[in-house]
């Protein structure tokens, strides 16, 4: 997951980077960092914790410069260790090089072994350092960042949206499948690139467009140059961006996330209507789903659960024990709304099932007569290897279990998952352009140790360069 942002702005970037990262805090809560460049010097600060715990005004004022990048981390590859906190910063032949990355490489171990054979020493356990190693080595040979990214994209397998800073110039690129999102915006005095459009909104920046899959952009004092490096036969957008990850007010690859979730809620009612007294979301990602369900059914929307806004997203907490313990602190039932009522709870997904069960038990404890569970994703039945910390198959409640078995496990009166067909229809994007690996076990790239007969995407290497005028 992770949230990344890069800004070139003559008005200074440290505070804008902070505000943009704040808008992306939902994408990662383990650590945060910012690097800036000014007058030949690299300035940096990063640490484990939430953004508000890592930075304050005094720290931000010590990060001068008109160019900078920032990161909030959600760990997939690499342990929860301080050295894995990004941005990663390096010195390279008199230049300063920094990198932030959102995604997950499936050939990370092979690349580490290859570069260790060449004498490279790795200081972290994150695959972001592997990307940095590839780029740095090619830069020392050719001196061309474009050549370095071309080589990098040909070596990398998996998902990646990357922003790098080489002295006073930003470079951003996206994997050929477009698995992880990245978009471009115009600030008052420059340009920015970020994981989601809400980061642009936080700064009052104007949304220009999404980076195209396989595209490299360069942002400097003169503007933006665009370089299409690799083409794929089709994309593989992460479907979970629309289900859970992205904020509802984000526009991801041209689609407003809120509209998708609201339409999914409508389709949930059509697929599995129920005679109930209230429709209640599991906040926050279930809210727009519940709105759609309520509007389609005519059953009143009422908040049966109130979220403690000072508790983070439990799904991205690093251990299952923390996730389970956080449920009671995070959600409190509204007794007056649910006592004696038949309640439809609407949530985005069920992964292990332990959180769903605890929520349902909590609602029953506060007097609900019936609890029907409606879910805005199909059953999660396979691991994700492309940037989501989903567990092994044996830990997934839907693996080798029918829907009625899952319903019994989570103690619901009824359970229905949205069908994959309806979910795809709600996005307005062709199914062939999504990664559905965690739902179908069919991945867009070859995964080590996964015996898949699925069709993998073909890549065409070639390039053209244009200038983006705005």
Give the chain's largest Cα–Cα span.
Answer: 72
Q: Which of 243-247, 274-278, 343-347, 461-465 has the lowest mean pLDDT?
A: 461-465
Tokens, residue 469: 């005028």
Task: Return the pLDDT at 140.
Answer: 87
Task: Return the pLDDT at 81.
Answer: 74
Rounded to the nearest 5 percent, the helix, strand and coil shares of the chain are 35, 30, 40
Calculate mean pLDDT across residues 449-464.
Answer: 60
Calculate mean pLDDT across residues 319-328.
Answer: 64
Three-state secondary-structure class, residue 133: helix
Check whether 327 has a pLDDT greater than 80: no
Q: How far apart are CA 323 and CA 402, in angstroms?
A: 25
In this structure, is the dihedral angle defined by the CA atoms of residues 424, 425, 429 and 430, taken in order, positive or negative? positive
Q: Average model confidence (pLDDT) for the chain?
A: 91
- Residue 55 contacts by C-beta under 8 Å, 6 or more apart in sequence? 18, 32, 34, 45
Query: Band of the pLDDT at 361, cuts 50, 70, 90?
Result: very high
Three-state secondary-structure class, residue 73: strand
Burial annotation 272-291 (CB, 10 A radius, 16+ → b, else e): bebebbbbbbbbebbbbbbb
In this structure, is the dihedral angle defined by the CA atoms of residues 59, 62, 66 and 67, taken in order, positive or negative? negative
Task: Return the pLDDT at 51.
Answer: 95
Task: For 433-443, write each residue's pLDDT tens digit.
Answer: 999 999 999 99
Task: For 117-165, write each residue's pLDDT tens digit.
Answer: 998 899 998 999 999 999 999 988 888 888 999 999 999 999 999 999 9
Task: For 366-388, write each residue's pLDDT tens digit.
Answer: 999 999 999 999 999 999 999 87
For residue 167, say if its preceding peptide bond is cis, omega within 30 degrees of 0: no
Tokens, residue 202: 């936080």
Check whether 60 has a pLDDT greater than 60: yes
* Residue 7 β-bridge partners: 68, 192
Radius of gyration of the chain (CA): 22
Q: What is the pTM of this model?
A: 0.91
Task: For 156-193, write each residue's pLDDT tens digit.
Answer: 999 999 999 999 999 999 999 999 999 999 999 999 99
Using left for φ > 0, alpha for ψ between -120 and 50, and beta otherwise, residue 380 falls in beta
Task: Return the pLDDT at 464.
Answer: 46
Query: If you ran DSSP here, which 8-state letter would residue 10 be given?
Result: T
Q: Which of 160-164, 169-173, 300-304, 315-319 has the lowest mean pLDDT?
A: 315-319
CA distances from 36 to 167, 179, 231, 347, 428 (A): 9, 27, 32, 39, 39
For residue 91, say if its preceding peptide bond is cis, omega within 30 degrees of 0: no
Check whether 418 has a pLDDT greater than 90: yes
Check whether 48 has a pLDDT greater than 50: yes
Calculate mean pLDDT across residues 279-303.
Answer: 96
Q: How far apart are CA 63 and CA 103, in angstroms?
A: 27
Check whether 36 has a pLDDT greater than 50: yes
Using the structure block, give the residue that is written with the tokens 């290859």. 114
Containing 414, the helix (H) or strand (E) segment is: strand 414-417
CB contact at 8 A, 181 and 27: no
CB contact at 8 A, 173 and 225: no
Does 2 participate in catalysis according to the annotation?
yes
Q: Which residue, among 387, 394, 402, 376, has the nearest Cα to 437 in the 3D structure?
A: 387
Check whether 264 has a pLDDT greater than 70: yes
Q: Which of 130-134, 208-212, 320-324, 414-418 has the lowest mean pLDDT?
A: 320-324
Task: Return the pLDDT at 216.
Answer: 96
Phi, psi of 396, rounded to the nearest 5 degrees: -80, 125
Task: For 287-297, write each residue's pLDDT tens digit.
Answer: 999 999 999 99
- Residue 453 contacts by C-beta under 8 Å, 6 or more apart in sequence? none
Task: Return the pLDDT at 204.
Answer: 97
In the chain, the percentage of residues whose pLDDT exceeds 70 is 91
Tokens, residue 436: 């559905």
Check whether 210 has a pLDDT greater than 70: yes
Using the structure block, give the residue that is written with the tokens 């190693």. 133
Burial annotation 112-123 (CB, 10 A radius, 16+ → b, else e): beebeeeebeee
Order across the sheet with 215-220: list the strands: 88-92, 95-105, 158-166, 169-174, 215-220, 223-232, 459-468
Task: Return the pLDDT at 390.
Answer: 72
Query: Band of the pLDDT at 321, cuts 50, 70, 90?
Result: low
Query: Band of the pLDDT at 467, cuts 50, 70, 90?
Result: very low
């Amino acid at each position: 997951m992770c949230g990344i942002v890069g800004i070139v702005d003559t008005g200074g970037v440290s505070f804008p980077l902070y505000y943009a990262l704040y808008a992306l805090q939902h994408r990662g809560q383990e650590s945060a960092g910012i690097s800036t460049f000014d007058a030949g010097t690299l300035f940096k600060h990063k640490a484990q914790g939430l953004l508000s715990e890592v930075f304050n005004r005094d720290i931000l004022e010590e990060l001068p410069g008109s160019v900078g990048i920032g990161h909030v981390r959600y760990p997939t590859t690499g342990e929860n260790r301080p050295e894995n906190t990004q941005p990663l910063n390096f010195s390279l032949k008199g230049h300063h090089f920094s990198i932030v990355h959102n995604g997950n490489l499936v050939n990370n171990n092979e690349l580490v072994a290859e570069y260790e054979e060449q004498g490279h020493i790795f200081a972290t356990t994150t695959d972001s350092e592997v990307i940095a190693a590839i780029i740095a080595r090619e830069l020392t040979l050719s001196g061309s960042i474009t050549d370095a990214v071309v080589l990098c994209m040909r070596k990398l397998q998996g998902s990646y949206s990357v922003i790098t800073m080489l002295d006073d110039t930003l470079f951003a690129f996206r994997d050929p499948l477009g698995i992880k999102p990245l978009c471009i915006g115009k600030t008052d005095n420059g340009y920015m690139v970020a994981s989601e459009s809400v980061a642009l909104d936080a700064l009052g920046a104007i949304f220009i467009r999404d980076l195209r899959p396989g595209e490299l952009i360069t942002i400097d004092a003169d503007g933006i140059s665009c370089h299409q490096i690799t083409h794929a036969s089709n994309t593989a957008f992460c479907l979970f961006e629309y289900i859970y990850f992205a904020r509802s007010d984000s526009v991801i690859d041209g689609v407003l996330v809120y509209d998708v979730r609201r339409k999914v809620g409508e389709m949930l009612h059509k697929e599995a209507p129920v005679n109930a007294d209230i429709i209640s979301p599991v906040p926050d990602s279930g809210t727009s789903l519940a709105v759609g369900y309520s509007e389609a059914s005519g059953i009143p929307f009422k908040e049966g659960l109130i979220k403690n806004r000072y508790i983070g997203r439990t799904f991205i907490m690093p251990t299952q024990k923390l996730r389970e313990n956080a449920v009671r602190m995070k959600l409190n039932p509204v007794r007056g709304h649910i006592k004696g009522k038949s309640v439809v709870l609407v949530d985005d997904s069920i992964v292990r099932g332990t959180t769903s069960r605890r929520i349902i038990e909590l609602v029953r404890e506060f007097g609900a007569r019936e609890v029907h569970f409606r879910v805005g994703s199909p059953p999660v039945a396979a691991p994700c290897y492309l940037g989501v910390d989903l567990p092994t198959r044996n830990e997934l409640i839907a693996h080798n279990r029918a829907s009625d078995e899952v319903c019994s496990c989570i103690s619901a009166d009824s359970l229905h998952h949205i069908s994959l067909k309806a979910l795809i229809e709600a996005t307005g994007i062709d199914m062939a352009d999504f990664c559905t690996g965690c739902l179908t076990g069919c991945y867009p790239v070859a995964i080590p140790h996964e015996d898949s007969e699925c069709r993998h995407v073909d890549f065409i290497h070639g390039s053209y360069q244009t200038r983006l005028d705005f």
